[in-house]
A and B are shown apart, each in its own frame.
Chain A
Amino acid sequence: MSSQVDRQWTTRLRRRSFGRLPPEKMLPDTQPSYVASWIYVFGVATISALVVVIATGCVLAIFGPEWWHVSNIGHFVNSLHLWSVEIFFFCMVIHLWGKYFMAAWRGGRAMTWITGMVLFLASVVTALTGYVSQTNFDSQWISTQAKDAVNASGGGAFFNLLNPGQMLMWHIVLLPLVLVALVAAHVIMVRIKGVVPPFEDDSVAATRAADVESTGAPQ
C-alpha cells in the first residue's frame, strides 16, 4: 500500500515541492542580517503595483474598453490604472538595477535573474498593447508609429498593432497570464535560493586567497 502511495504522481509532486520549498522558506519569519537596505523594498513594491494594475484593469474590463471616455468614474479608474503602471515600471527598473549591482545571479540564481529580465520585457509588451487599446488619439499615433518596427521584424503579420481587438485580447488575457506566471516563478525561485549574500569583504577574500595559495586548500 505504502509503496503504491509512494509511486503516485501526487505524492511525488508534494514531496518534491515541499522538499525544495518548505513552508518556513515560502513564508519566512527571519531573514539574513545583510538584508538591510531600502533597495530591497522595490521588489515587493513592484508586485504591489502589479496587484493595483490588475485590480484597476479588472474594473475597466467590467465596463468595456470605451467606458472610460464617457464616465468620470471610468476616467478616474483609467488614471489609477495609468499611474499604477508608471509606479510598477519605476519600482521594477530600480529593483532590476539594484539586483544588477548586487550581481544577484550569484550562487545558482541565474534563472531568477533571467526570469526577472523576461518579466521586464513581457511588461514592456503588455504596456504597449495597453497604450494601443485605449481607443483614443494616443492609440492611433502609437500604433501607427510602432507598427513599422514590428513589421520590419516580420512580426506584424501575426501581431497587428492596428487591430485594437487583437491588442486588447493580448493586453487583458494572454500577457497578464504570462506576467503572473513569471512573477510566481520568480518569487518561488527567490524563496528557494534566498536573497543573494554580499560580496566578500576585500580583507576576507584576500585571506582566503592566501590560505588557498599556501595550503592548497580553502579554509
Chain B
Amino acid sequence: MSKNFRPDVDAPEWRGGHTPYDIIKEGVIALVVIGLLTVLLAVVFGSPDVPAITIKSWSNAAPIDFANTALSELNGTSLTASYGAPYNVQPSSASQALGPLKLEYWVGIHIPINTTNDFVVDPLRALPNQPVLDQNLAQWTGASKAQRATWVAHYTKAASGMKFIDGQVVVKTTTAGPVPVMINDLTQMARSGALDQALITGDSFYSTDYTESLLFISDGNYLGDVATKQHLQGNQWGVMNETGSYPGQAWLWLYTFWYQIPPFSTSGNGDILVLAVMILLTAGLTFMPFIPGLRAIPRKSRVYRVIWREHYRNQNTT
C-alpha cells in the first residue's frame, strides 16, 4: 500500500475472504422479480391516457378563447409571435440569456414561424369556394402594413366584447376591414377540423411534425385550463407530473423544484437559470471523484458503516 494513501481516492486492497456468488442465478431471479412486480403494478394501476386536444375540440369547447388566440396570432401579441429563437423575431426581448451568454439568440431561427401568415392567412387561403373570404383576403394582401395594423388595432379594441352567437364570432366594429371575416372563418375552419390538418401537413401529404399545431394550441388558455385541472401547471410541479395520480417523471423533482422558488420563478430568464444550476450540480456530482472536500463527504458521513455493517462487525469480532 502506498505511503500516500488517500482514503477518498484509493481503496485498500482486499485480503479477506470470498463467498460463493452465482451471478447468472442472481440476474435471472432479479429479472423474474422485476418482471412480476411490473405486471402487478400494471394490473393494479394501469397507465393514464387522456386524449390529445385538437384544434377542433378546443374551438368547439371554447370558441371565444380560440378566436381571441387567432387574433393574437394575427396581431403578433401571442407567445409564439414574440417568442424569439428558434421560431422568429431576432433579436427578441423574449429570448433568454445567462448573463452575457445569449445561447438562444446565437443559435438563431431554425424553425421559422410567422404566426400571421402560418397560423391565419395561409390556412384561410387553402379553403376552397369561399368567395367572400377570398375577397377579404385579397383586401388584406393588397393593403399596406400600416393599414393592416389599423384594422387589427380596431378589431383588437372591440374584441373585449366578443360574443359567439349561432356559431358565429361576433365583434361590433365597422372599421376593422377584412379582420372580422378572417377571424370568424378561421374559427369555422377550426371547428370543422380543417385547421388541424392544414397546420400539420402544410404542402406535404405526410408529416410527423406538430410544431405549429402545438404552438397554436399552447397560445390559448384552453390547454392551460385543462392542465390546471390535471395539476400540471408549473407552480404545481409542472412537467414532472402526468395526468391522473401517477408518479410521472419523479426523477425530475430537483429540476422542477427550482421553478417553485425565486429568483427562478420570477425571472424572465428562469428556464436558462434553472438549466445552468442543474448543469452545475450534475457536473459536481459527476466529477465528484476529482473534487477534494466533496469527495470526502461519504467517508465523513459514515453512512457506509450501515452498508458494510456486517463487514465491520466481523472485523471487530476476529
- Residues in A lying within 8 Å of B, measured CB to CB: 27-37, 39, 41, 44-45, 47-49, 51-52, 56, 68-69, 75-76, 78-84, 86-87, 89, 91, 93, 98, 100-103, 105-110, 113-114, 117-118, 121, 124, 127-128, 131, 134-146, 148-149, 151-154, 156-158, 160, 162-166, 168, 194, 196-201, 205, 208, 212, 216-218
Tell which of A127, A140, A151, A168 touches B217, judged by Cβ atoms closer than 8 Å: A140
The 3 closest A-B CB pairs, nearest first, are A165-B208, A107-B11, A157-B110
CB distance from A64 to the nearest CB of B (A): 12
- Residues in B lying within 8 Å of A, measured CB to CB: 1-3, 5, 7-14, 16-24, 26-27, 30-31, 33-35, 37-39, 41-43, 45-53, 83, 85-86, 96, 103-104, 106-108, 110-111, 207-211, 214-215, 217-218, 223, 226-227, 230, 232, 234, 238-239, 242-243, 246-247, 249-252, 269, 271-272, 274-275, 282, 285-290, 295, 298-299, 301, 303-304, 307-312, 314-316
Residue pairs across A and B with Cβ atoms less than 8 A apart, 27 shown, are A29-B22, A32-B19, A34-B16, A47-B30, A51-B31, A51-B34, A52-B31, A56-B38, A75-B49, A82-B246, A83-B42, A84-B34, A87-B34, A89-B251, A107-B10, A113-B286, A134-B49, A137-B230, A145-B238, A149-B274, A151-B96, A152-B269, A153-B104, A154-B107, A162-B215, A196-B11, A208-B1
- A100-B298, A102-B304, A164-B210 known; A198 vs B106 contact (CB < 8 Å): no
Taking a contact as CB atoms under 8 Å apart, the answer to whether B311 and A48 are in contact is no
CA distance A56 to B316 in the complex (A): 48
**Smallest Cβ-Cβ distance to B217: which chain A residue:** A140
CB distance from A60 to the nearest CB of B (A): 11
Taking a contact as CB atoms under 8 Å apart, the answer to whether B208 and A114 are in contact is no
- Tally A-B pairs: CB < 8 A: 293
Taking a contact as CB atoms under 8 Å apart, the answer to whether A154 and B285 are in contact is no
CA distance A149 to B214 in the complex (A): 16
* A-B contacts besides A30-B20, A86-B247, A148-B271, 4 pairs, CB < 8 Å: A83-B47, A145-B238, A153-B104, A156-B86
**Smallest Cβ-Cβ distance to B209: which chain A residue:** A163
Set of chain A residues within 8 Å of B207, measured between Cβ atoms = 165
Taking a contact as CB atoms under 8 Å apart, the answer to whether B47 and A137 are in contact is no
CB distance from A107 to the nearest CB of B (A): 3
Tell which of B17, B27, B37, B298 touches A102, judged by Cβ atoms closer than 8 Å: B298
CA distance A68 to B290 in the complex (A): 46
Taking a contact as CB atoms under 8 Å apart, the answer to whether A82 and B42 are in contact is yes
CB distance from A156 to the nearest CB of B (A): 5
Set of chain B residues within 8 Å of A151, measured between Cβ atoms = 83, 85-86, 96, 104, 271
Set of chain A residues within 8 Å of B39, measured between Cβ atoms = 80
Set of chain A residues within 8 Å of B230, measured between Cβ atoms = 137, 141
Set of chain A residues within 8 Å of B8, measured between Cβ atoms = 103, 106
Taking a contact as CB atoms under 8 Å apart, the answer to whether B47 and A37 are in contact is no
CA distance A28 to B25 in the complex (A): 12
Taking a contact as CB atoms under 8 Å apart, the answer to whether B50 and A154 are in contact is no
Set of chain A residues within 8 Å of B311, measured between Cβ atoms = 33-34, 36, 198
Taking a contact as CB atoms under 8 Å apart, the answer to whether B295 and A152 are in contact is no
Set of chain A residues within 8 Å of B10, measured between Cβ atoms = 106-107
- A106-B10, A198-B311 known; A152 vs B275 contact (CB < 8 Å): yes
- A27-B23, A83-B42, A107-B10 known; A101 vs B232 contact (CB < 8 Å): no
Taking a contact as CB atoms under 8 Å apart, the answer to whether B30 and A48 are in contact is yes
Taking a contact as CB atoms under 8 Å apart, the answer to whether A157 and B46 are in contact is no
Taking a contact as CB atoms under 8 Å apart, the answer to whether A136 and B21 are in contact is no
Q: Residue among B8, B49, B309 with the most chain A CB within 10 A? A: B49
Taking a contact as CB atoms under 8 Å apart, the answer to whether A142 and B37 are in contact is no
Set of chain B residues within 8 Å of A81, measured between Cβ atoms = 47
**Smallest Cβ-Cβ distance to A65: which chain B residue:** B208
CA distance A156 to B111 in the complex (A): 9
Set of chain B residues within 8 Å of A69, measured between Cβ atoms = 49, 51
Taking a contact as CB atoms under 8 Å apart, the answer to whether B209 and A218 are in contact is no
- A107-B10, A114-B287, A153-B104 known; A201 vs B315 contact (CB < 8 Å): yes
Taking a contact as CB atoms under 8 Å apart, the answer to whether A78 and B47 are in contact is yes
Q: Residue among A105, A138, A194, A201 with the most chain B CB within 10 A? A: A138
Set of chain B residues within 8 Å of A137, measured between Cβ atoms = 50-53, 226, 230, 243
- A36-B311, A83-B45, A86-B247 known; A52 vs B38 contact (CB < 8 Å): yes
Set of chain A residues within 8 Å of B111, measured between Cβ atoms = 156-157, 160
Taking a contact as CB atoms under 8 Å apart, the answer to whether A198 and B20 are in contact is no
Set of chain B residues within 8 Å of A30, measured between Cβ atoms = 18-21
Taking a contact as CB atoms under 8 Å apart, the answer to whether B30 and A105 are in contact is no
Set of chain A residues within 8 Å of B275, measured between Cβ atoms = 149, 152-153
